[in-house]
């Protein structure tokens, strides 16, 4: 079962928090969390993805 954090990954931008429309395509990435879980983040555009990637 998906947690609220899982749903948030597809509902808001992982960098700026901008709401994401459910039917549009958005750039995304995965990363390994502190507990070893693979996590997914979606971004409102390529600029937020690049900025997040630069800061990670």
- The matching CATH number, chosen from 3.30.450, 2.30.170, 2.40.10, 1.10.287, for 4-55 is 2.30.170
pLDDT, one tens digit per residue, over 13-54 is 999 999 998 788 999 999 999 999 999 999 999 999 999 988
> Alpha-carbon distance 39 to 29, whole Å?
8
Return the ∠ at Cα 46 (arms to 44 and 52), rounded to 5°: 85
pTM of the prediction?
0.76
> Alpha-carbon distance 31 to 24, whole Å?
22
> Alpha-carbon distance 52 to 49, whole Å?
5
Q: Parse the chain into domains and list their residue ranges.
A: 4-55
């Amino acid at each position: 079962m998906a947690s609220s954090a899982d749903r948030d990954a597809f509902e808001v931008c992982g960098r700026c928090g901008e709401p994401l429309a459910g039917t549009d395509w958005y750039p995304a990435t995965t990363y390994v969390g502190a507990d070893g879980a693979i996590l997914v983040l979606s971004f409102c555009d390529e600029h937020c993805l690049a900025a997040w990637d630069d800061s990670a």
